[in-house]
Amino acid sequence: MSNDQSASTPGSRRKRTRSSSANPPDDASIDIDGLELIYGDGTAAVRRVDMRVAEGEFFGFLGPNGAGKTTTIKVLATLLSPTAGEVRVNGFDVRTAPRDVRKSIGYMAQETSIDPELTAEENVRFACEAYGVPRGERDERTAELLDLVDLASVADKRSEEFSGGMKKRLDAATALVHRPPLVFLDEPTTGLDPQARNRLWEYFERLNERGTTIFLTTQYLEEADRLCERLAVILDGEIVADGSPADLKRQVGGDVLDIELQGDGGASERAVAIARDFEAFDDATVEETDAGISVTAETARQSGTDLLVALRDAGVTVTGFNIRAPTLDDVFLAITGERVDTDGEPAEVPS
């Protein structure tokens, strides 16, 4: 599938019913059936993974460190050969046609690969030469990509002068010179400030609206929630959840009641015990947080105020509370037993 097609109107990506399906059709950019990868020491990094990503889809791949994300991507990019299973990327078998796979994909890693001594334009031109873009098309291709990533005005500046966000956008442009129908983004915004991250998000959205399939791994759950039409969560080498962000949030099991408490950790421990014994919150998930406690329950909205009264009667001082719909962070916690901290690294939940 070419990514030269006209851009769709803003927001149309989320309205495409084809690619947002939990079971994409046969026109898949990625088709994995029974993937296994066992290292020489016997470690099973990936076990019986089945996955399909439709053409034009913005797909997110989530999981804690060591869950199998990087191994899976390396198989898809032909850097590792699977122990078992069938893997096809853009219609090519990763075992029998690895060169065809590599020609048909773009890859953007956490660390940029641009040359700091070259200008933005020179970096893109060098990538055009490396990827074999015909000489007569390089001028137009370079101008097009620099405009797409909002770097046309600084095309003649050396990239060592660029901010981190500008370097990331330039790196993305170099990964697209051969117009791959599928792009892998491996935690592409790690280390960027919020403003730079938002600008890169906008670029990824524009890229996807042009028809490019995007496979994103990220530790920023806000990023996955905003960008991805569908997500898969991998844990211990196996896919444990798959669906749209909204579908996964519904699986959390209700709304979330966040309660802020006055006092030290002793207050939180008492509040957790009270919430777990609270009859109206049958099958609720209760955890201690930095500010107090968090309760996830189907009846959080109906019975939340009753819990606040119970805490007050027990001598626990509540300084604030909020009832909200679950986020992807809550999904991640429910599935993996971990939260993701503000630096993007998984953090274990206090027991």
265-276 and 300-313 helices cross at what angle (nearest 10)?
130
What's the order of all strands across the beta sheet hosting 255-261?
285-288, 292-297, 255-261, 318-324
Residue matched to tokens 């079971």: 23
Please, what sign has the CA dihedral across residues 18, 227, 85, 181?
positive
d(CA 154, CA 139): 16
pTM (two decimals)? 0.76
Q: What is the pLDDT of residue 30?
A: 98
Q: Is 136 exposed, middle or buried (0-12, 13-18, 19+ CB in 10 A)?
A: exposed
Contacts of residue 343, defined as CB under 8 A and 6 or more positions apart, other chains included, come to: none
Neighbouring CB atoms inside 10 A of 155's CB total 16
Q: What phi-psi label fits residue 53: left (phi over 0), alpha (psi between -120 and 50 degrees) or beta?
A: beta
Angle at 50 between CA 84 and CA 231, to 5 degrees: 140
Residue 275's Cα: distance from chain center in Å? 33
**Taking a C-beta distance cutoff of 8 angstroms, is the pair 259, 316 a contact?**
no
What's the rounded Cα separation, in Å, for the pair 158 and 119? 4
pLDDT score recorded for residue 26 = 55
pLDDT in tens, the chain (351 residues): 333 433 333 333 443 333 333 344 458 999 999 999 999 999 999 999 999 999 999 999 998 888 898 899 999 999 999 999 999 999 999 999 999 999 999 998 878 889 999 999 999 999 999 999 999 999 999 999 999 888 999 999 999 999 988 998 999 899 989 999 999 998 888 777 888 888 889 889 988 999 999 999 987 888 999 999 999 999 999 999 999 998 888 887 788 999 999 987 789 999 999 999 998 887 788 889 989 999 998 889 999 999 999 999 999 999 999 999 888 888 887 777 766 554 444 444 333
Query: What CATH number does domain 12-244 carry, 1.20.1250.20, 1.10.645.10, 3.40.50.300, 3.90.1150.10?
Result: 3.40.50.300
**Strands 58-62 and 230-235, bridge-based pairing:** parallel
Q: What residue spans in the chain does CATH classification 3.40.50.300 cover?
A: 12-244
Residue ranges of the chain assigned to CATH 3.30.70.100: 253-325
H helices of 60-137, in order, are: 69-76, 98-103, 120-130
**Residue 295 backbone class (left: φ over 0; alpha: ψ -120 to 50; beta: rest):** beta
CATH architecture of 253-325: 2-Layer Sandwich (3.30)
Contacts 24+ apart (CB under 8 A), 343-351: 344/187, 344/190, 344/218, 344/219, 344/220, 345/65, 345/219, 346/64, 346/65, 346/219, 349/287, 350/287, 350/288
- Please name the amino acid found at residue 134: P
Of 213, 227, 220, 224, the residue nearest 52 (C-alpha): 213
The whole-angstrom separation of Cα 181 and Cα 211 is 8
